[in-house]
Amino acid sequence: MESNSPVKLSEEVTKAKADGIPIVCLESTVFSQLGLPSPSNAEALELCMSTLQNNDVVPAVTAVIDGQLRLGLEESEYERIFTATNKVSVRDLSVAIGKGLDVGVTTVSASLAVADAAGEKVFCTGGIGGVHRGAHITGDISADLYALSRFNVLCVSAGAKAFLDLPVTLEYLETLGVPVLGWETNEFPAFYLRQSGLEIPRVNSVEEVASIFKTISSLGHQHGLLLNAPIPLEAELDSEMIWSLIENSIEDCDRQGISGQAVTPFILEQLANATEGKSIPANLALLQNNAEVASKIARVLHS
């Protein structure tokens, strides 16, 4: 990475780059209370970091700290992430830095931008954003999709949140030219659910994924790749119950005038309440599984 890069690296990430150790980037929104309630947010961070470390990969959390774009945080800074209230998308990065924001937690789109700026190629998250239902009226389409088309980073995800318009999300990714693959599955996962009924190409080996990702650059393309790993079978929630809850939650959003960035945390809170907290263990399980898959890919790409 060039010395004039806008991204400040942690000591651990700096050393990993110098020593040629694989790195997997992580967003920070999910580890704040904007993602998971306390203390589950801290548990999620520890789970993701330990999973990566146990696979000989260095975890690198992205964030804005004291007006600086960061890849990798020092241990003393994690508490600031847990209590952060400012969410930073790719659109907001320059504003957050220019205005010297004290703490900003990064979304998927911002994290992909940070990873790309730092020359890193593997990022994992829980689920990506997508096209919201009714987007033909509201224009509510997640910047995550734009970022996947703009930054040459491989994103490991458990698909997209089930309350999104999943068929249109996949159509939009096709329009943007982003390859969408299923890890040992030929169906697009829907976060808490392993299946959505939407078919995607299946890949069965890390080597196959690495080959496809490397081919993107060899063709002269700049976009990323979305690899979707379904939530572990034992952690999956009841599909009939989830689809019913989502429909009811979307109706609640309409009645209460909830829109934009407020939709996701509202519906996730509704799901957590309605499932008596079962959605949180499911969230932790899919985060850990994604970190496991991402670590395997990072090792092959660095070999």
At residue 1 the predicted structure's pLDDT band, cuts being 50, 70 and 90, is very low
pLDDT value at position 89? Answer: 97
At residue 145 the predicted structure's pLDDT band, cuts being 50, 70 and 90, is very high
If one compares 136 and 282, the residue with the highest pLDDT of the two is 282
Q: Is the dihedral of CA 79, 80, 86, 92 positive or negative?
A: negative
Kindly state the average pLDDT of the residues 185-199.
96
At residue 266 the predicted structure's pLDDT band, cuts being 50, 70 and 90, is confident
pLDDT value at position 2? Answer: 44
Average pLDDT of every residue of the chain: 93
Q: For 4-22, what is each residue's pLDDT tens digit?
A: 678 999 999 999 999 999 9
Catalytic residue among 27, 120, 187, 292: 27
High-pLDDT (> 70) share of the chain, %? 98
pLDDT value at position 178? Answer: 98
Q: For 48-93, what is each residue's pLDDT tens digit?
A: 999 999 999 999 999 999 999 999 999 999 999 999 999 999 999 9
Give the span between the Cα atoms of 71 and 69, in whole angstroms: 7
Query: By C-alpha distance, which of 26, 3, 27, 6 is closest to 97?
Result: 6
Catalytic residue among 17, 87, 161, 296: 161
Q: Please say if the pLDDT value at position 177 is more than 80.
A: yes
For the whole model, what pTM was predicted? 0.93
If one compares 1 and 109, the residue with the highest pLDDT of the two is 109
The correct answer on CATH 3.40.1790.10 for the domain covering 7-302 is: yes
High-pLDDT (> 90) share of the chain, %? 77
Query: By C-alpha distance, which of 7, 70, 78 is closest to 49?
Result: 78
Instruction: Mention every residue, 6+ apart, whose C-beta is less than 8 A from residue 246.
Output: 162, 163, 267, 271
Is 161 in the active site?
Answer: yes
If one compares 247 and 284, the residue with the highest pLDDT of the two is 284
Q: Are 52 and 24 in contact (CB under 8 A)?
A: yes
Domains in the chain: boundaries: 7-302
Q: For 150-175, what is each residue's pLDDT tens digit?
A: 999 999 999 998 889 999 999 999 99
pLDDT value at position 261? Answer: 63
Per-residue burial over 262-278, b = 16 or more CB atoms within 10 Å of its CB, e = otherwise: ebbbbbbebbbebbeeb
The helix, strand and coil proportions of the chain, stated in percent and rounded to the nearest 5, come to 50, 15, 35
